[in-house]
Chain A
């Protein structure tokens, strides 16, 4: 995994995949590129450069700081995951996993299939990878690093032939020795093999010879079995394979007892557990357990795992069970308050419920909402799974993909323009923003309702300005209504404030449009007031995809007067808007929408917008 570090970092920072990225660490006074993604490589960035040099070559390069600790942890997680292919896995920094697959291939239908599965596993975790299966660690290493293919499988005894064409550095020889060999004109492994062994040892010391021997199989090199970062792991072999659930359950229970004891000794709690059920002549079943906070409560873990055991396919008998902690953390201590019922505020109890929900319904189905730094309504809210959010690398879910959960990248924080046309771009980044934009308070006395019309020019209602045949032909339609005497006039300085705000739009092609809009808005203070009222009101239901609807709208960019939704034609009692949202250009497709809060004659409230690109109307939510 040559790009482990940069891929992990860019995911954590939420950078889009199509942006050249590099990770850098401070060396003396300057920042040096440690590793960079493929895009950056093709752009001319090289590891070892200073960031200033790299930026000179590729100005759009995104640079993140290098976090070797987090990289190590992630590699450890991958190694733990790779234990599904072989019990002996060794992670080697910065980005190599060594697996001793001797004898494992027959469970997976051959070496090539096993290799393919392994590669698919790492790719699913989100990393680019190359693999090789060979008779020796050295050969596999060299082929994975210097071989051109995604997966190379070397036939038995074919190591020397496979290695012959590879460069000498691929044998894990020190840099100085590589440089010296290079000066001598020894470029490939083949050249190296043709040199007399005695002179090699004299010139370069034992290390080159040792690496060479390890690669061709003349010297033994064991794979050091990996123990997931000294996290407790327990394993039990059953006396004979069983397909009885209660036996498996009893086994899991006794394993958990041992595991929690170990955790107790270490003063830790499990945040993520992997329970593997090994079966004879079949692939092991791996079931994962996520916890919303580290715990070592035996009863809680037992009940969660019992749920997993209940759903277990036992058609092939289970011969062994292993249980290991993939992530651990300090068990948070909590002190109850004296005058408070201990049950209500006990976070351990709350965590118990979340774990239970999350492990049955899936990690992505039980979430907390987070504010997104984006004005586009679909992106104004992100979901974070309640479990598994302790150790970075959290996968967040967008509002419009809640139904088909998959990892979604967060968009990079970018400048957003959103006007409520009162000239004040709204602050974001916290739920305060959601709250501040509008907060409801109960009315003291119930009042009978009366409809209000949205006023267009000179206080005349929408329908009046637009000679919509349908609207005028309808006998039941209320006629134009004069504004109430008490209507508050907005002072002219408010009207003037609009102009600079609109001017601040960076999108050049909308310049004319905006100038026009500014002129139109500035002279109708009544509409400003309405827009101010509408700013920020959001519907309880926001459709994942805006639904196209038929709307008859007032003239001059007025609000809707009629619309048709699910077969019903609805007459608009009033509409408030537009709230203009222009954002998302960095996602490739700019969103230009004028949102309206609309109430129909029956009292149903809707949130619709006109797409300013194609001038079509969409229903985006309802205040259901």
Chain B
């Protein structure tokens, strides 16, 4: 954008300019060779969508979810996001090194078993290979990769390239133990997921956007799902006053 056009633009709406500039940055940051034909898939969680550039997860990219502790809900959120990413059709590949991913629960989160292929690799190398192959395939809408302790920069880059080639979304779920924060990663979106108190009949996560290409990091925010079938009112009891969302990065 030349200086002249910016001057012209001043007369226009301020927000439009900001949007234009953001788009430019996004292009510069990403692949300028290719026109931005990517799409954004809404997460179905309004509070999270607001904080993500483009209003959702970009297709053809890697999304990293870092669980801040045990039983923090990172995998459940990733399953939900995977289901959303594949909501327009396409296969889902779940690569589960631990071997205890439970499909009935995925079904409850909207990820149907009929579209899901489960892979149980024995080694982490195989897990990464399988993820790369799956991402590269245009028939795969989303790949969920769990239980990875370390992803080197090179591997991360390979996954990113594979996702760009295939056009799907790769979701990596990693524990915070891996010192994932602060390491170099090519993921387009990095989310830190922590546990938060919720009521029976709902699922809540505390999510912080650590990184979002074309957007800004955000403060932790509570996002949640409600059980529609649940018609029983929940007995709410206030304890300890205000519930300020706090996300502990220390983990464990």
**Which A residues lie at the B interface, using CB under 8 A?**
343-347, 349-350, 352-354, 356-357, 360-361, 364-371, 377, 380-381, 383, 386, 399, 402-403, 405, 431, 434-435, 437-453, 455, 478, 481, 483-484, 486-488, 529-530, 532-534, 536-544, 565-566, 573-574, 576, 597, 599-606, 621-624
Contact = CB atoms under 8 A, between A and B. Distances in A.
A478 B197 CA distance: 14
Contacts of A536: 108
Contact of B101 (A377, A529, A541): A541
Chain B interface size, as a band, is: 35 or more
Interface stretch (B18-26, B183-191, B223-231): B223-231
15 contacts: A368-B114, A403-B99, A403-B120, A431-B112, A443-B224, A443-B225, A446-B46, A486-B233, A539-B102, A541-B98, A574-B200, A603-B204, A605-B71, A605-B198, A623-B203
A470 B161 CA distance: 54
A386 B117 contact: yes
A379 B46 CA distance: 36
B99 A402 contact: yes
Interface in B115-140: 116-122, 126, 129-130, 133-134, 137-140
Given A449-B196, A605-B73, A623-B76, 5 more contacts: A353-B91, A367-B120, A530-B200, A603-B204, A624-B74
B200 A576 contact: yes
A622 B70 contact: yes
B232 A488 contact: yes
Contact of A484 (B112, B114, B233): B233
Contacts of A447: 222, 224
A360 B120 CA distance: 12
A56 to B, nearest CB: 42
Contact of B196 (A345, A381, A544, A603): A603
Contact of A441 (B117, B227, B239): B227
B238 interface: yes
B119 A383 contact: no
Contacts of A543: 100
B228 A441 contact: yes
B46 A542 contact: no
Nearest to B46: A444
Interface of B: 44-47, 67, 69-76, 79-80, 89-91, 93, 98-110, 112-114, 116-122, 126, 129-130, 133-134, 137-140, 194-204, 206, 221-230, 232-240, 242-243, 245
A602 B195 contact: yes
Contact of B204 (A449, A544, A601): A449
Contact of A529 (B114, B129, B232): B232
Nearest to A383: B118
B71 A344 contact: no
Given A361-B126, A544-B100, A449 B243 contact: yes
Nearest to B43: A442
Closest 4 CB pairs of A and B: A603-B195, A604-B71, A369-B103, A440-B225
Contacts of B109: 440, 540
Contact of A540 (B102, B138, B200, B227): B102
B113 A431 contact: yes
B235 A483 contact: yes
Contact of B69 (A345, A601, A602): A602
Contact of B137 (A349, A439, A537): A349
B237 A368 contact: no
A623 B202 CA distance: 12
B107 A434 contact: yes
Nearest to B136: A353
B198 A361 contact: no
A440 B80 contact: yes
B237 A453 contact: yes
B102 to A, nearest CB: 4
Contacts of B103: 369, 381, 434
A602 to B, nearest CB: 5
B126 A360 contact: yes
Contact of A532 (B71, B91, B232): B232
B195 A538 contact: no
A603 B106 contact: no
A544 B73 CA distance: 19
B76 A624 contact: yes
Contacts of B198: 449, 599, 603, 605
A405 B119 CA distance: 12
B45 A442 contact: yes
Contacts of A621: 100, 102
Contacts of B121: 361, 365
A601 B126 CA distance: 37
B197 A573 contact: yes
A357 B127 CA distance: 10
B203 A357 contact: no
Nearest to A402: B99
B102 A370 contact: no
A453 B134 CA distance: 44
Contact of A455 (B69, B226, B235): B235
A84 B241 CA distance: 75
Contact of A604 (B46, B70, B98, B102): B70
B101 to A, nearest CB: 7
Contacts of A367: 117-120
Given A361-B126, A366-B118, A440 B226 contact: yes
A491 B36 CA distance: 58
Contacts of A534: 200
B72 A624 contact: yes
A540 B224 contact: no
Contacts of B89: 344-345
Contacts of A602: 69, 195, 197
Contacts of A599: 197-198, 200
A566 B137 CA distance: 40
B222 A606 contact: no
Nearest to B114: A431
A624 B107 CA distance: 15
A443 B202 contact: yes
B213 to A, nearest CB: 24
A546 to B, nearest CB: 12
B138 A601 contact: no
A347 B89 CA distance: 12
Contacts of B221: 446
A449 B44 contact: no
A540 B111 CA distance: 11
Nearest to A538: B105
Given A381-B104, A440-B80, A453-B235, A371 B119 contact: no
Nearest to A386: B117
Contact of B71 (A361, A380, A488, A622): A622
